[in-house]
Chains A and B, each alone.
Chain A
Amino acid sequence: MPEDLASRRELKAVQEAMAARFGPAVIETAFKLGELTFKIAKDELRPALEFLKSRLGLDTLDDIIGLDNSRSVPAGGKRFSVLYQLRRAPGPLRLRLAVDLAEDETVASAVPVFTSADWGEREIYDMLGIRFDGHPGLRRIYLSEDFAGHPLRKDFPLAGDDDGV
């Protein structure tokens, strides 16, 4: 897909604004396949979401994605990631904000910034067991409350777990 110069310039402006506001809290900036990703320190997640939404106009949360990196991360690295897919609607400008989490770490809920994050966070909790601080009602969304384990974790067997049901 051809990238037009304007969106390149806009992405660059966003990148500079993020670097100026958060400095070293922006751990990594990647630009691949025409998609911009910021890895941000866990504690700066909510300020970053607020900044991107209110200052830089990325007012739409397209999706929240939970990842279990246990097969790809080197030993000692953090197991989980949560990605926030943001868009400056209705235009084409998009970027991803990423936080890495160790197995026992929690992350601030995005619901106070984006109401639409509610069910998405519940889904991630259900599927991966990642907890979101300050979520208005964090409980499983697909599986029953007495289900043991989180199916999208890489160590959960594909054929299911007898203890699960």
Chain B
Amino acid sequence: MAFKEIELNMGPQHPSTHGVLRLKLAVDNEVVLRIEPVLGYLHRGMEKLWENLSYVQGVPLTDRLDYLASLSNNLAFVLTVEKLAGLEVPKRAHYIRVILAELQRLASHLAWVGFMANDIGAVSVLLYGFEARETIMDIFEEYAGGRLTVHGIRVGGVVEDLDDKVIGMIRGALVEIPKRVRDIQLLLSENRIWKQRTAGIGVISAAQALEYGLTGPALRATGVRRDLRRDIPYSSYEDFDFDIPLGTRGDIYDRYQVRIEEIFQSLRIIDQAVDNLPPGEIRARVPRVLKIPPAEAFQTIEAPKGELGFFMKSNGTDKPERVKMKAPSFINLQSLELMCKGNLFSDVVGILGSLDIVLGEVDK
């Protein structure tokens, strides 16, 4: 067939973008030549808003960034404020934060595996993933009242102590979720169609991934051992025993395997944290009006999507001078073109899905 370059438009309203993302594609018959993501459809000016809200008021806004992992956003923002203000957080609060953040990782990964399978045509897996995720949503609802925008982590600690009912629900989830995940594995891991659509597709090498700043499960799927929970521990992650699952080929299938393994590792962490929950306060004493003398701080966490970080500059008032967010989805999306080049047009949806981006975070 003769060479013929065609421009194709995908989105901004397209079910597989999970938000509003536009892709300008150049294809030669079925093969992708170039992709240019067009962003900003969900841009709400978060960084400007933070400058005009107090440190404490800024936290609930973070729920709306990666809205599939609101507690992880809370944690990163709050840790930066605490570093800037020199607040010492009680050990019990750290452990509760770890439990919440890991539950959030479970919820995010379970939603991902459902969406991902749905994107490439396996609708039933979506239901399995969401059924498992529902047990976590129920825990959040019982704990903080919210399901999606939970806002359970506050400056200085957490919103509430874990009571017996919540702990019982968490222990129940620790038993229930592995069963559901094994169902998903049975459906997908050796499934011929799943493998045809994922193995060897969307490949990125370790060197390229590092060059493009890729982080999170997509980076670990290339075999690079980087996990901030281990490398630069925060919130007492150094107390827990867990493995960092790695892939070897850097394709969609490895990203799937890494995330599934991470689910089991998160369950291990939660199990240890619930068993060893230290006694004590759940919140530090934080002044009613938190004024922070001029300083700068940068703090990162390992969010479900990758390395999530905040840079904050204070100016002596109760509002930050500047807040800059390092959004993992934004940075990971930069490698989309590289992963798609030379692949078939029909695989773009799968590759985009495998990156696990959330447009609330990409567009800020």
Which A residues lie at the B interface, using CB under 8 A? Answer: 1, 32-33, 35, 37, 59-63, 65-68, 71-72, 83, 85, 89-92, 94, 96, 114-116, 118-120, 127, 141-144, 151-152, 156, 158
In angstroms, Cα B322 to Cα A127, docked, is: 12
A-B contact list, 24 entries, CB within 8 Å: A1-B234, A33-B86, A33-B296, A33-B297, A59-B210, A60-B213, A62-B300, A62-B309, A63-B309, A66-B324, A67-B313, A67-B322, A68-B322, A72-B321, A85-B311, A89-B231, A92-B231, A116-B334, A119-B331, A141-B39, A142-B39, A143-B40, A143-B43, A151-B45
B295 touches A32 (CB 8 A): yes
Interface residues of B in 153-194 (CB under 8 A from A): none
- CB closest residue in chain A, given B88: A1
A116 touches B213 (CB 8 A): yes
In angstroms, Cα B296 to Cα A156, docked, is: 23
In angstroms, Cα B39 to Cα A141, docked, is: 6
In angstroms, Cα B299 to Cα A96, docked, is: 12
Residues A62 and B231 in contact in the complex (CB < 8 Å), given A83-B311, A116-B331, A119-B334: no
Task: Select A116's contact among B48, B212, B311, beta carbons within 8 Å.
Answer: B212
In angstroms, Cα B298 to Cα A33, docked, is: 10
Question: Could you say which interface size class chain B belongs to?
Answer: 35 or more
B52 touches A158 (CB 8 A): yes
Residues A118 and B39 in contact in the complex (CB < 8 Å), given A60-B210, A83-B311, A89-B226: no
Q: Please indicate which of the listed interface residues A96, A116, A143, A152 has the most CB atoms of chain B within 10 Å of its own CB.
A: A116
Q: Please indicate which of the listed interface residues A59, A68, A83, A96 has the most CB atoms of chain B within 10 Å of its own CB.
A: A83
In angstroms, Cα B211 to Cα A80, docked, is: 27
A62 touches B307 (CB 8 A): yes
Give chain B's interface secondary structure class: mixed
- 19 more CB-based (< 8 A) A-B contacts, given A33-B84, A119-B330, A151-B48: A35-B296, A35-B298, A62-B307, A63-B326, A67-B313, A67-B321, A85-B326, A89-B226, A92-B231, A92-B232, A94-B298, A116-B331, A141-B39, A142-B39, A143-B40, A143-B43, A144-B40, A152-B47, A158-B49
Q: Mask for B217-259, Cβ within 8 A of A = 1, else 0?
A: 0000000011000011010000000000000000000000000
Chain A residues near B294 (CB-CB < 8 A)? 72
| Closest Cβ–Cβ distance, residue A114 to chain B (whole Å) | 8
Chain B residues near A62 (CB-CB < 8 A)? 298, 300, 307, 309, 326
A96 touches B298 (CB 8 A): yes
B40 touches A142 (CB 8 A): yes
